[in-house]
Amino acid sequence: MVEHFLPTTLTETLDILDTNKVEIIAGGTDLMVQRRTWANTLPKFDQTINIIHVKELNFIRQEGSKLHIGATTSYTTLLQHPDVPQLLKDCISVLASPALRNIATIAGNIGNASPAGDTLPILYLYDAIIELSSKHRVRYVPIQDVIVGPRKTTIEYNELITSIILPLHDFSTVRFDKVGGRKADAISKISMAAAARIEDGVIEDIRFAFGAVGPIIVRDTGIEEELLGRTIEDIPDVLPTILSSIASRITPIDDQRSNKNYRSNVALNLLQDFLLTL
Amino acid sequence: MSNITFTLNHNVVTIDIDPTKRLLDVLRNDFHLTGSKEGCGEGECGACAILLNGKAINSCLLPVGSVQGQDVVTIEGLSQSRQGQALSDAYRDEGAVQCGICTPGMLIASHALLLENPHPTDDEIRIGLSGNLCRCTGYNMIVKAVKKASEDGEGLW
């Protein structure tokens, strides 16, 4: 018999996941579009578990230098919370629309694993750790080991994303750029998250990650390291090398939203602009 | 099928239904509340907007199971309130209704905005309504209407 589960506790949720083949719905803003059929006709699901009523998963908590975000916490809640880093807020404020942000979740961005998921470059930039829970164990997996391809993750069938852990950093500059066909509700053609800590004109920390220019988010810490310890004045000299390194790492495609030349040029222009305005 | 109980326009209702059915379909076809419209069906147009616990939500994206125990207000409920009346008066006075398909969603988004920010600037109104499309492109009148409602309806939000 087909069942759609509506648990209210985490224990119940993990029990259901352990013994049933179900698809997980939180906000539902991606899945309900992917599975829609026609007006007044059921979306195409076999069995589902809707976790939106599991209150234990709705939280934002700072523990030491890490921010823990519960899986069903909405983007609106994140946007209004004092402990959420500005870079993430900058991204959320241009993500979808107010009504979508009221229900959509970061955990959904991870589970959906779209190369254009807007918060993903930020999770890569922050070296986010994803807490995956099953009835039998909890494991903590770096974001880049969770998402392995478009819509492909290493999350096991009986596991649930229970929280997202962001190590907090004291960046002096942060920037999120999203290029889309419309300001609201656009799926990104290209996105870039960037952050740096500059002390006395010296680059102490610098990170940049790109969305929608490859099957997964592109971040290369090797390229970032080439900039560490350099001064702002050095940047124009090393810029051509940095840009050509990034150009060789990104693999944009042509699709209905954009094309590879545009994506590649804009990605490099965004990075150049970020580096030259530090 | 599951029994889903929620508050719909201030009345507690229970319905035995597939919990993955879209709230929009449940409202229009099971409760015959046809004020909420289906425009795009994918969260881009806002014509299906309703209030979930006082916040605007696209009902085409919400499985009805998600409203279990929650408070839902549709355009039919909003229009019975003083705020709804103030908004429709302002929309009428500013000529903010053309074909009318986007209007229920626009009114819901306007009300949700004013609940959070009773005195929005033009920019804040445009951001607040950014998830709602008007195919007739009557945006300037809609922005003016929200401004007028916030002034004429002083104290309502």
Q: Which residues neighbour A49 within 8 Å (Cβ) at sequence distance 6 or greater? A: A4, A5, A6, A7, A13, A16, A17, A20, A22, A23, A24, A25
Question: What region, left, alpha or beta, does residue B73 occupy, with left being phi > 0 and alpha being psi -120 to 50 degrees?
Answer: beta
What are B113's strand-pairing partners?
A: none
pLDDT of residue A69: 98
How many angstroms away from the CA of B4 is the closest CA of chain A?
10
Pick from A42, A43, A98: CB nearest B56: A98
Mutation test of the interface with chain B: which of A48, A94, A102, A183, choosing the one with the most B Cβ atoms within 10 A? A102
Tell me the per-residue pLDDT of B13-49, one tens digit each, with 9 for 90 and over.
999 999 999 999 999 999 999 999 999 999 999 999 9
Mutation test of the interface with chain A: which of B2, B4, B18, B20, choosing the one with the most A Cβ atoms within 10 A? B20
CA A267 – CA A116 distance, rounded (Å): 13
B125 with B143: CB under 8 angstroms?
yes
A160 with A24: CB under 8 angstroms?
yes
pLDDT of residue B66: 98
CA B112 – CA A69 distance, rounded (Å): 25
B43 touches chain A (CB under 8 A): yes
CB contact under 8 A, B42 and A36: yes
Tracing tokens 């949720």 back to the chain, one arrives at A13
What ipTM was predicted for this assembly?
0.96
How many angstroms away from the CA of B21 is the closest CA of chain A?
5
CB contact under 8 A, B43 and A29: yes
Neighbour-count burial of A66, counting CB atoms closer than 10 A to its CB (0-12 exposed, 13-18 middle, 19+ buried): middle
Along chain A (278 residues), what's the average pLDDT of each consecutive run of 10 residues? 92 98 97 96 97 98 97 98 98 96 97 95 98 98 98 97 97 96 88 98 98 96 97 96 96 92 96 97
pLDDT of residue B3: 96
pLDDT of residue A26: 97
CA B101 – CA B133 distance, rounded (Å): 10
Chain A residues touching residue B38 (CB < 8 angstroms): 39
pTM for the full predicted model? 0.96
Chain A residues touching residue B130 (CB < 8 angstroms): 97-98, 183-185
Chain A residues touching residue B60 (CB < 8 angstroms): 32, 36
pLDDT of residue A175: 97
Distances (CA, A) of A200 to A60, A93, A229: 34, 31, 11
Nearest chain A Cα to B59, which residue? A99
pLDDT of residue A183: 83
CA A91 – CA A163 distance, rounded (Å): 19
Per-residue pLDDT in tens (0 to 9) along chain B, 157 residues: 899 999 999 999 999 999 999 999 999 999 999 999 999 999 999 999 999 999 999 999 999 999 999 999 999 999 999 999 999 999 999 999 999 999 999 999 999 999 999 999 999 999 999 999 999 999 999 999 999 999 999 999 9
Pick from B38, B61, B132: CB nearest A39: B38
3-state secondary structure of A242: helix
pLDDT of residue A184: 84
